[in-house]
Amino acid sequence: MVKDRVGPARGGIARRIVAAAVMGLLVAGMARPPLPRPSLFGVPLQTATRGALTRALSRAHLTLVPGGRHQWYDLYNVNGALKHASRLAVSYTHGGRFAKAVYIFPSFISTKRFGYVLKIVRAKYGPPSHMTGEADIGRVRARWKLADGFEIIVKRGWPNPTTYMVIENHLTLQRMKAEQRKAMANSGAF
DSSP summary character for residue 100: E
- pTM > 0.75: yes or no: yes
Q: What is the pLDDT of residue 15?
A: 62
Taking only Cα atoms into account, the Rg of the chain, rounded to an integer number of angstroms, comes to 24
* CA distances, 154 to each of 76, 90, 91, 151 (Å): 19, 16, 17, 10
Give the sign of the dihedral formed by CA 32, CA 39, CA 149, CA 139: negative
pLDDT in tens, 169-186: 999 999 999 998 998 888
Average pLDDT, the chain: 86
β-strand partners of 154: 142, 165
Residue 26 confidence (pLDDT): 46
Q: Is CATH 2.40.160 the right assignment for the domain spanning 39-187? A: no
CA distance 59 to 57: 5
Domain spans, the chain: 39-187
Looking at residue 55, its pLDDT comes to: 96
- In residues, how long is the chain? 190
Task: Provide the residue-wise pLDDT of the chain in tens; the chain has 190 residues.
Answer: 555 554 555 556 656 655 555 555 444 445 556 667 899 999 999 999 999 999 999 999 999 998 878 889 999 999 999 999 999 999 999 999 999 999 999 998 888 999 999 999 999 999 999 999 998 889 999 999 999 899 999 999 988 999 999 999 999 999 999 998 998 888 776 5
